[in-house]
Amino acid sequence: MEFVKPTIEYAELAPLLIVFGVAVVGVVVEAFAPRPLRRPIQLTLSSAGLVAAFAATVWIASGLDVVADGAARGLVAAGGTIIVDGPTVFLWGLVLLFAAGGLMLFAERRLEGGLSAFAGQAAALPGTEAERRASSEGLDHTEVYPLMMFAVGGMLLFPASGDLLTMFIALEVLSLPLYLLCGLARRRRLLSQEAAMKYFLLGAFSSAFFLYGVALTYGFAGSMQLERIAEAVRNDGGNSELLLIGIGMLSVGLLFKVGAAPFHAWTPDVYQGAPTAVTAFMAACTKIAAFGALLRLFHVAFGANRWDWQPMLWAVAILTMLVGAVLAVAQRDVKRMLAYSSIAHTGFLLTGVLGVQATSDLAVGEITSLQAVLFYLATYGFAMVAAFGIVTLVRDAGGEATSFERWAGLGRRSPLVAGAFALLLLSMAGIPLTAGFVGKWAVFTVAMSAGAWPVVAVAIAASAIAIFFYVRQIRLMFFTEPQGEVASVVTPSLFTSSVIAVGVVGTLALGIVPGPVLDLAAHAGQFLR
């Protein structure tokens, strides 16, 4: 066997290298910098890293070469393990943008009276003297910043993976830091730790499925590379059961990450238990990265036998939308409601994913499944990050107040915050002139033109159910008389308020003039391989 040294395209991989580099430096900072200096250093490092990575992404995007047939742009990097093409760059941009939002929510310290939302000392048992001391001394886990950067690095790698092994590594790199971050809440620590534990166990479980799927697919195709797999699928190498089971196993791993039913059970518990800043980051960025990977896997590797897997995705999408919408109606807690809403959104996104068609079947200039999903992810990210940002503001003596009763009449006490939340909910509901409407419109039409009208019918019905609970929340904030103790809105620092402002403006802008971002998504073209 002969080993060939791969060539590394440093310039095109700059965003990845920057983010991972910053993460590693962050770990070193934790070891050597004095405690009071750590937070400012970490904050500067991480934000500079994200900004630099974003700038590099924009630079790469502007310089991508059009490849042979003209539908795709980009290049194959690092010996075929990383694909830097239009969709990759678009997803990188989204992940970095919303990660910056998450970082700002992480950095917020005004809400807890000068402390961050993370546990002072994670090792201290809840309710012990050690915990009290950590809190009174103002200890803070600044490790969250490098942890987050590692996760961001994994998220950048995930949708760009050119082979299954890279994809698996990326999956682990993005997941492991998240498991830790989920368990670091300053308040309600047991709930937070329980959430982290659950997320870890189930995540590990589903990763095993994914790995098994990798092995089976390798058995079928004789290669890990998506391109080779696609080739084998096209040539139909015989043992199709092996392939189908492989696809199933791979799907379980990915569908778990995006929170599709019946693999969604962790979502509400984890979203509720994790520190809200982590939830915001996780809800937006993990889903974007995982959908990127899902799209690449299904469209590139298994694009040729989509007739085999589309029915399965139909069923999963239908189930996911119904479970998300129906269960959200039964919730009495804002964070859980948003969690179920995110499950419903996963269903809508899957509706877009299964709308894939052969290029020859598309009318000239027709929006593709990929573009629709990319756009939907953008609209979804703005709304989710800002909505969870607002959840961090509504507090009472026990920290964040997330039960519905506490939110009653919020609109009268803080019309601005409640108004912003209402707008975000309307966008999630898909009311015209908000981003969500255009996103839904895009994914529904691609699914419809791919002939998936039963899924679209269910999707529209699920949207109708969903509008009910979003509007109920709005009514609760504006038209319900508060009973008993209510929560109030704490004025945040510039960090959180700018995240919310950007989310609200983005939601409105994408609804009223979605053109530029839709163009960007269209410009991203197709997957290179």
Partner 1 sequence: MYALAESAPLVDPATADGTLSLLWLVVALPLAGAVVLLLGGRATDRWGHWLGTATITGSFVVSVLLFVDLLDRGEDERQVVLHLYDWIRVGGLDVGMDLLYDPLSALFLLLITGVGALIHVYSIGYMSHDPRRRRFFAYLNLFVAAMLLLVLAENYLVLFLGWEGVGLASYLLIGFWQHKPSAAAAAKKAFVINRVGDIGMALAIALLFVTFGTTSFSGVSALAGAATESTLTAIGLLLLLAACGKSAQVPLQAWLLDAMEGPTPVSALIHAATMVTAGVYLVVRSNFIFDLAPNAQTAVVAVAVVTLLWGAIIGCAKDDIKKVLAGSTMSQIGYMMLGAGLGVAGYAFAIFHLLVHGFFKANMFLGAGSVMHGMNDEVDMRRYGALRHAMPVTFLTFAMGYLAIIGFPGFSGFWSKDKLIETALADSWLVGLLALLGAGITAFYMTRLMLLTFLTSKRWRDDAHPHESPAVMTVPLIVLAALSVLGGVLLLGDWIVDWLAPVVGTAEHHEPPIPVLAVTALAVGVVAVGVALAWFLVGRHEVPVTPPQRVSLATRAARADLYGDAVNDHLVVRPGAALARGLTTADRRVVDGFFTGIAAGIGGLGRGLRRAQNGYVRSYALSVLGGGLLVVVALLAVTI
User: One symbol per residue from 76 to 115: x for binding partner 1 (CB under 8 A), - otherwise; what is it?
Assistant: ----------------------------------------
CB of 326 to partner 1, least distance (A): 5
Could you say whether residue 367 binds partner 1 (CB under 8 A)? yes
Q: How many CB atoms lie within 10 A of CB 203?
A: 21
- The site for partner 1, by CB under 8 A, has a size of 75
324 and 347 Cβ atoms separated by less than 8 Å: yes
Q: 390: Cβ–Cβ under 8 A, 6 or more apart, which residues?
A: 417, 420, 421, 424, 500
Chain-centroid distance, C-alpha 307: 27
Which of 231, 308, 333, 405 is the binder for partner 1 (CB under 8 A)?
A: 308
What does the CA dihedral 470, 472, 474, 477 come to, rounded to 10 degrees? Answer: -140
- Whole-angstrom Cα distance, residue 305 to residue 315? 17
CA distance 42 to 39: 5
Task: Report the residue number, 81 or 368, with the smaller CB distance to partner 1.
Answer: 368
What are the two backbone dihedrals, phi and then psi, of residue 524, each rounded to the nearest 5 degrees?
Answer: -60, -25
Please name every residue paired with 82 in a beta bridge, in sequence order, or none if there are none. Answer: 77, 161
Assess contact for 406 and 485: CB atoms under 8 A: yes
What value does the CA radius of gyration of the chain take, rounded to a whole number of Å? 22
Asked if 424 is part of the footprint of partner 1 (rule: CB under 8 A), the reply reads no
Provide the minimum distance between the beta carbon of 67 and partner 1 in the complex, in angstroms, as a whole number: 19
- Considering only residues 4 through 23, tell me which ones interact with partner 1, judged by CB under 8 A: none
Q: Is 364 in the site for partner 1 (CB under 8 A)?
A: yes
Question: Which residues inside 390-419 make contact with partner 1, applying CB under 8 A?
Answer: 415
* Of 11 and 416, CB closest to partner 1: 416
| CB-nearer residue toward partner 1: 24 or 467 | 467
* Residues 314-353 within binding reach of partner 1 (CB under 8 A): 315-316, 323, 326-330
Which positions from 217 through 276 interact with partner 1, judged by CB under 8 A? 240-241, 244-245, 247-249, 251-252, 255-256, 261-263, 265-266, 268-269
Q: Where are the alpha helices (DSSP H) in 259-305?
A: 266-273, 276-281, 287-296
Q: How far is the CB of 354 from partner 1 (least distance, A)?
A: 13
According to CB under 8 A, which residues from 489 to 518 bind partner 1?
A: 512-515, 518
Query: Regarding beta strands 399-400 and 488-489, do their DSSP bridges make them parallel or antiparallel, or are they unpaired?
Result: unpaired
Q: Tell me the closest approach of the beta carbon of residue 428 to partner 1, in angstroms.
A: 15
Q: Which of 63, 126, 219, 311 binds partner 1 (CB under 8 A)?
A: 311
Q: Which of 90, 98, 145, 209 touches partner 1 by CB under 8 A? A: 209
Residues between 370 and 389 with contacts to partner 1, criterion CB under 8 A: 371
For partner 1, give the closer residue by CB, 70 or 365: 365
- Minimum CB distance to partner 1, residue 515 (Å): 5
CB 91 within 8 A of CB 292: yes
Choose, by CB under 8 A, the member of 9, 309, 486, 501 that binds partner 1.
Answer: 309
Strand pairing class (399-400; 394-396): antiparallel
Tokens representing 195? 């959430």
Pick from 39, 110, 198, 228 the residue near partner 1 by CB under 8 A: 198
Structure tokens at 510: 């994408």
Contact pick of 81, 206, 473, 526 for partner 1 (by CB under 8 A):
206
Q: How far apart are CA 356 and CA 40, in angstroms?
A: 46
Instruction: List the one residue from 118, 444, 470, 527 that touches partner 1 (CB under 8 A).
Output: 444
Interface with partner 1 in residues 448-477 (CB under 8 A): 448-449, 453, 456-457, 460-461, 463-465, 467-468, 471
- Strand order across the beta sheet in which 394-396 lies: 399-400, 394-396, 488-489
Give, as ranges, the residues between 279 and 298 that touch partner 1 (CB under 8 A): none
Asked, as a colleague might, if the bond just before 87 is cis with ω within 30 of 0, I would say: no
How near is the Cβ of 194 to partner 1 at its closest, in Å? 8
